[in-house]
């Protein structure tokens, strides 16, 4: 853990050096102050190759060689090896301020400071295990239905099998007084955070799956609020506001009819897709044609922006590497019999 650094008058931190390490990936844990948004402005490896050369407007960079998302207050940036990038040889990184309201680079400085810690990972596990907690509101078809919750978990595991990842359900809690409708946007996450306010304290390295009411993505620059099938506030979860996966319980157009009865297969596929986002995987192809930076993915992939589509199945080896690089994924060891 290094000393905190300041964002200077140009909105940029100094260059920070991550030393070489023995391993497959590294997670950068960056913390600033509430209300501060920032992004990676520069990423250069030990051979002088530049992977990120500037901050770009938007929720994540599209032109950079290593894609990461905008951070608000605090975030985990998980950087696996692959596609030419080898973090184990060491690299330098610099962060820059972003305007939370417009997702554009801020060229003026301020007082905020940034703390950076890095966590190298020596080996990618052959198979990984991720712990989940279900937070269930009264708007969800899963409330008081342990059998159905288990069935959902099984089907999520069917979707994750190819990626070598298994999820376990380690706690379930009810969410009292969850509102019937929640609106949010990339950096407008207060309503999502409020859903979890009355939940028991978060568990260590456990992803909260919040089964809420109707969920509407409300982009202030683009049309009316749109109902979504699932939402993960930041690609690369694990730190920062509303760091969880949110699933709808109500259809936005049918409040009076109570919890929607989503077909479990489709619902499980969306949940697996959202877990992909939480662990750092982007859409294989965005609706505007932007592709991810992985050379082995295409439209026929569970990270298709519409995971309910029939052909949206499966994970590629690069996606698997990204999933298993997240520090919350633990090795899934085979069971070794205890000695007598
Ligand atoms: Zn998605």
* Proportion of the chain above pLDDT 90, given as a percent: 83
Q: Cα(16) to centroid of ligand 1, in Å?
A: 31
Q: Cα(265) to centroid of ligand 1, in Å?
A: 17
Answer whether residue 339 shows pLDDT above 70: no
Count CB neighbours of 71 within 10 A.
Answer: 25
Q: Cα(184) to centroid of ligand 1, in Å?
A: 15
Q: Cα(197) to centroid of ligand 1, in Å?
A: 25
Strand 25-31, strand 50-52: pairing: unpaired
Q: Cα(247) to centroid of ligand 1, in Å?
A: 12
Answer whether residue 338 shows pLDDT above 60: no
Q: Which domains does the chain have, with CATH numbers?
A: 5-121 (2.60.120), 128-325 (3.40.390.10)
Q: Cα(148) to centroid of ligand 1, in Å?
A: 24
For 234-268, write each residue's pLDDT tens digit.
999 999 999 999 999 999 986 667 999 999 999 99
Q: What is the mean pLDDT of the chain?
A: 93
Q: Cα(304) to centroid of ligand 1, in Å?
A: 7
Q: How far is CA 250 from CA 149, 181, 182, 241, 257, in A?
A: 17, 8, 11, 23, 9
d(CA 233, CA 186): 6
Q: Cα(307) to centroid of ligand 1, in Å?
A: 8
Mean pLDDT computed over 27-36: 96
Q: What is the DSSP letter of 230?
A: -
pLDDT reported for residue 337? 58
- In degrees and rounded to multiples of 5, residue 321 shows phi and psi of -60, -40
For 209-236, write each residue's pLDDT tens digit.
999 999 999 999 989 999 999 999 999 9
Q: Cα(283) to centroid of ligand 1, in Å?
A: 6
Answer whether residue 293 shows pLDDT above 90: no
Q: Cα(286) to centroid of ligand 1, in Å?
A: 9
Q: Cα(228) to centroid of ligand 1, in Å?
A: 10
Residue 89 CA, chain-centre distance (Å), reads 26
For 69-103, write each residue's pLDDT tens digit.
999 999 999 999 988 899 999 999 999 999 999 99
3-class DSSP assignment, residue 131: strand
């Amino acid at each position: 853990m290094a000393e905190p650094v300041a964002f200077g008058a140009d909105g940029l931190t100094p260059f920070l050096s991550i030393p070489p390490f023995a391993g497959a990936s590294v997670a950068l844990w960056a913390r600033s102050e509430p209300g501060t948004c920032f992004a990676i402005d520069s990423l250069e490896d030990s051979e002088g190759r530049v992977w990120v050369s500037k901050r770009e407007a938007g929720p994540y960079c599209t032109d950079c060689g290593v894609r990461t998302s905008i951070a608000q207050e605090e975030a985990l940036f998980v950087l696996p090896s692959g596609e030419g990038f080898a973090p184990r040889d060491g690299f330098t990184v610099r962060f820059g301020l972003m305007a939370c309201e417009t997702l554009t680079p801020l060229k003026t400085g301020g007082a905020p400071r940034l703390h950076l810690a890095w966590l190298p990972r020596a080996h990618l596990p052959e198979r990984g295990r991720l712990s989940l907690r279900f937070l269930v509101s009264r708007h969800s078809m899963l409330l008081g239905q342990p059998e159905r919750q288990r069935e959902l978990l099984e089907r999520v595991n069917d979707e994750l099998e190819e990626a070598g990842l298994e999820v376990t359900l380690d706690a379930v809690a009810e969410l009292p007084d969850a509102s019937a409708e929640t609106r949010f946007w990339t950096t407008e996450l207060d309503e999502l955070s409020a859903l979890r306010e009355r939940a028991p304290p978060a568990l260590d390295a456990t992803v909260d799956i919040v089964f809420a009411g109707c969920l509407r993505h409300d982009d202030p620059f683009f049309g009316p609020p749109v109902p979504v099938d699932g939402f993960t506030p930041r690609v690369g979860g694990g730190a920062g506001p509303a760091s969880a996966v949110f699933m709808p319980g109500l259809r936005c157009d049918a409040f009076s009819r109570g919890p929607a009865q989503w077909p479990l297969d489709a619902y499980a596929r969306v949940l697996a897709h959202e877990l992909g986002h939480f662990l750092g995987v982007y859409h294989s192809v965005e609706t505007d044609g932007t592709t991810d930076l992985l050379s082995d993915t295409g439209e026929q992939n569970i990270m298709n922006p519409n995971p309910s589509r029939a052909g949206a199945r499966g994970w590629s080896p690069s996606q698997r590497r990204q999933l298993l690089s997240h520090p919350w994924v633990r090795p899934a060891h085979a069971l070794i019999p205890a000695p007598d």
